[in-house]
Structure 1
Amino acid sequence: MAKWGEGDPRWIVEERPDATNVNNWHWTEKNACQWSKEKLKELLVGLKLDNKVGKCKVTELSKSDGDASANNRKAKIIVFYEWELRMKWKAKVPGEDESIEGTIEIPNLSDENTVDDLDIQFLTEATSKAAQLMKEALRADGTPVVKAALQNYIDALKREFTQGMILPSKEQVTSSVNKLSDLRLDSVKDTGKNGLTTGGKNSGVKLDLCNLKSSTSMKCTAIEAFNALTRPEMFAAFTNGSGRIEPKVGGTFEMFGGNVHGKILDLKEPTVLVQEWRLKEWPDGHFSKVAFTILEKDDSTDITIEQTGIPKSALEKTKEGWERYYWDAMKRTFGFGSFII
């Protein structure tokens, strides 16, 4: 018999409330079918597919056949899903008396494929010229919007649905508490260039501020880039499901659990977006101003941001964040891939 402390760690019951599935060794499984159907309905019904021909939106998720599940084995989450989807859409074209209706067919939403591999078909039985123009516009402009919504479902299945499946050990809980304490201290205290403490709104200490300019070139149209930055479903997609945005002047936005948040100051589709923007760790009440400029060229679109009022101590982190969490993430999520200028 092994001495105390020398046994197989898979069988040692740790000091934690559940005292079950120690070290997450045993296979556990959760059925995600009903959750998935509700999530897909939430993300897809009402989805706006407006384009240059007219206004369009998804009115119904008429078919969602398949299944989904999440599994935990040795503290590793594995998700399985396979869906055959059908949606109904309705569009209105300026100058046309009758609305145009059709369907969207997606036969192969599966963990074996990425959203870029999906075969998304926009169909209509209407034979008018306006109907055919709308169908072609939906194929071009609606496809990335639908893909973004489906990517949001996949991300939510992996992160939202699986919460709590991996049980924390005593050491992980202690470490998390210590990190949270450190973060709280950092948010209250920030040392600037002169070594002065710059805390909350009423600290009375002037911050050492600087500005930043960052640009990128993307293989997309100006409206596609603008939609990625403002449409709730697309904004959520490239931020791994963490993003929330109200696309209107005065509307708020946040991403990554509120670590980035702010308010929209100006909005002019598809070229201008101005935001009040801050990182959560900045001194309380301090916001920078971010002005997006979107310029469409023959074969690409340039996006430039000019950001003013950044605490100097956060400049490098902010610059890296734009490139990694905005530009690279948008290219990877929507297939807008190109080089960073």
Structure 2
Amino acid sequence: MAKWGQGDPRWIVEEREDGTNVNNWHWTERDATVWSKGKLRELLVGLAVENEAGRCEISTVKESGAKHKGLIEIPSLSEENEVDDTEVNVSKKKGDGDTLKDLMKTTGTVKVREALGEYLKALKTEFTTGMILPTKAVATQELTVQRKLTGNTLQVQASPVALGVRIPTVALHLTELFDTTVEQLYSIFTVKDLVQKFSKSPAILETERGGKFQMFDGNITGEYVELLTNRKITMKWRCRNWPEEHYATVALNFVPAPGQTELQLDCKGVPVCKEENTKFCWQKQHFEEIKGLLQLTTQNA
């Protein structure tokens, strides 16, 4: 099997909380149907073969089930098999010339297989762009070369430079109403003692631009990008079990409402495989716990 970030780009290696990932392997999936239809039309429509008997040209690509005067059927196309072994069936409507059918079964089949080879190549490169995941350390490195001429000696110094690679991500938008003032809700996200109360765990907060934070026993870490008092908090934010060095961008907007505060959360850059876990983290571990803290504070007031 391929390792993280190597081989088949659909494979991911990482830890999961749900326990369903046997031996730390699972798939990240993406529907290739629409892309495949367009790509096959691009490669096959206009494909022509001819000899002294005449000329055959593919004018359209349709899904199985439609009626045609002539039909090329590919019952099983897989990237795991050699293209030359791909079965290509050519049939014709009764009454059409057998000579042209033979032409399509010979020369035509060769050209169709060539086009299918291009399709499979594009499936692994063009379609999967952005789906390859990074390694847990540094995905790839390249050498930067510094040259220094001393007398007649040329000194070459090489140093590794980390190169990032993209992973498939999604954006989340959540809104929640809290029975408190904007000032109080903003404090719950920025005052260490209040963060420790709703998270029920130690926290480290450097509440200034560029300051670091750590919550839930280090399971949540990040950096403050923007702090607009009682209005907005923007953070680089990540869970411990995300791909190393990958951060989402989280924006918390505090909107006053009559007797309440609406919290608008926009989270961009969440790994696709972590979408549900991230929703759970915000809705259950943040929002519900903060409401519990506010209720307790009201009762003790």
TM range (shorter): 0.3 to 0.5
TM-score, length-normalised on structure 2? 0.47
TM-score, length-normalised on structure 1? 0.42
Larger Rg: 2
